[in-house]
Amino acid sequence: MSDKNPYEDRGLNAGSVLNQLEAIDADREVKQEMRRMSRRSFIWAGIAAVGVYEFVGWLASRHEDLGTPWPFRRALDANEDLAMDYFGPKRLAPTFSKSDLTLEDVDGQVGIRSNGAYGIDDDPDFDPKAWTLTVNNVFGKDKPVQLTMEDLKKLPSTTQITEMFCIEGWSIKVEWKGIRFVDFAEKYPPNPRVFEKADGSDKPAVRSKPQNLVRFVSMKTPNEAYYVGLDMASALHPQTLLCYEMNGAPLTDDHGAPLRLAIPVKYGVKNLKRIGSITYTDEKPADYWAEQGYDWYAGM
């Protein structure tokens, strides 16, 4: 603002004093109007600020549902519903070439980064030679099915280089070799909710009518210390493997020998190492990390 009297240029004629008074009056009125509007606006702003602050506190202090306040669990579940809806069973994870493999220094040797040994290093009595895979709730079987590695290797094998995403925020590209879970599930089908035969077979239609099957798959380590839950669509995804080789070599202990899950459509936490049992179920299975406040779905 300039220092000169703003009313000076209105002149000092007979009416000027009256004009000045009128102008001062008018400006006072403008200021009053501003004050009136400010009061109203700032009261609202104050109420809104306190409201937001209180609401955030309220959200964070709700009772927990699987390790997170229930509003967050509801939000994660809503995201899950949406993700399951747009999940494309034929939409594939990008695949890479051998030159893209992520090789790191692991204890002085070139290897594959390993993270998490729940169900492995807490199970010193595990005997790999005596290992069998237990499959529960197989169609037409009253008892759990026990399978050896030999049984499994009768199924066709697949090799793929895909990226595994750790929930911590890093990723590695690995060559996985194993059996497609969908092939496995066709051989040892889940109990269906609605029974409809596959063409030329007495078994449920796993590939063509997956919606008829029970909705989930649970996998656990032999000592049941680590466990994951999967939705059927992700389990039956063509890139989901029961894996026994990584980067061309048999699985090592810390990567889950003798058999692990490789599921590129999920975070690393779902890629269970050392599978002891597979259970088909229609109830949403327990999941180790979901119980600690993480998203159950964990889909990529």
Partner 1 sequence: MAHLTEDSESGSKRQVAGRLYLEKKHPLAIRWFHWINFPLIAIMIWSGVLIYWANGVYRLGSISLFPDWFYHPGYQEKPPEAGLYDLTGRLAEGMSWHFMLMWFFTINGILYVLYTALSGEWRYILPNRSTLKEAIHVILHDLHLRKDHPPRQKFNGAQKLAYTGVIIMGFGSLITGIAIYKPVQASFFTQLMGGYTVARFLHFWLMILFVLFFLVHILQVMRAGWNNFRSMVTGYEIVAEEESV
Kindly give, in sequence order, each residue whose CB lies less than 8 Å from that of residue 234, ignoring residues fewer than 6 positions away: 87, 240, 263, 265, 266, 299
Q: Which is nearer to partner 1, 95 or 223 (CB)?
A: 95
As given in the structure block, the two tokens for residue 111 are: 């290897």
Contact 297, 80 (CB under 8 A): yes
Q: Which is nearer to partner 1, 175 or 186 (CB)?
A: 175
CA distance 241 to 160: 9
Kindly give, in sequence order, each residue whose CB lies less than 8 Å from that of residue 278, ignoring residues fewer than 6 positions away: 133, 134, 135, 136, 217, 218, 219
Q: Which is nearer to partner 1, 258 or 293 (CB)?
A: 293
The footprint of partner 1 (CB under 8 A) covers: 1-2, 6-7, 19, 22-27, 29-31, 33-34, 37-38, 41-42, 45, 48, 52, 56, 67-69, 71-72, 75-76, 79, 83, 86-88, 91-94, 163, 165-171, 264-265, 289, 292-295, 299-300
Q: Which is nearer to partner 1, 71 or 250 (CB)?
A: 71
At residue 215, what are phi and psi to the nearest 5 degrees?
Answer: -90, -15
Q: What is the number of other CB atoms lying within 10 angstroms of the CB of residue 296?
A: 22
Closest distance between partner 1 and the C-beta of residue 150, in Å? 33
As given in the structure block, the two tokens for residue 178 are: 């194993």
> Which residue, among 249, 246, 294, has the nearest Cα to 270 in the 3D structure?
294
Closest distance between partner 1 and the C-beta of residue 246, in Å? 19
Closest distance between partner 1 and the C-beta of residue 81, in Å? 13
Q: Which is nearer to partner 1, 91 or 193 (CB)?
A: 91
Closest distance between partner 1 and the C-beta of residue 285, in Å? 19
Closest distance between partner 1 and the C-beta of residue 106, in Å? 17
